[in-house]
Amino acid sequence: MKWLKPIVIGLVGVFALFYMVSRPEDAANAVQGAMAAVFSGAEAVGRFFTSLAT
């Protein structure tokens, strides 16, 4: 099963590269959405700890 992880990671990488080349606008929108979700989650964690400290 050790060989499965590198194969899956490689396939995901190839798919991401294909998606960027074939549909660059959609790929950019997907990355922007993912980054917005990460920042929103970080903000929520920060608010949680601020509320916890007060």
* Per-residue pLDDT of the chain in tens (54 residues, 90 and over written 9): 789 999 999 999 999 999 999 999 999 999 999 999 999 999 999 999 999 998
* Amino acid at residue number 42: A
Task: Give pLDDT, residue 1.
Answer: 79
Q: Domain map of the chain by residue range?
A: 4-53
Task: Give pLDDT, residue 36.
Answer: 97
DSSP letters of 10-46?
Answer: HHHHHHHHHHHHH-HHHHHHHHHHHHHHHHHHHHHHH
* Amino acid at residue number 38: V
Task: Give pLDDT, residue 6.
Answer: 93
pTM for this prediction: 0.66
Closest by alpha carbon to 40, among 29, 32, 50, 51? 32
Decide: 27 and 19 in contact? Cβ < 8 Å.
Answer: yes
For the chain, count helices (H), then strands (E).
2, 0
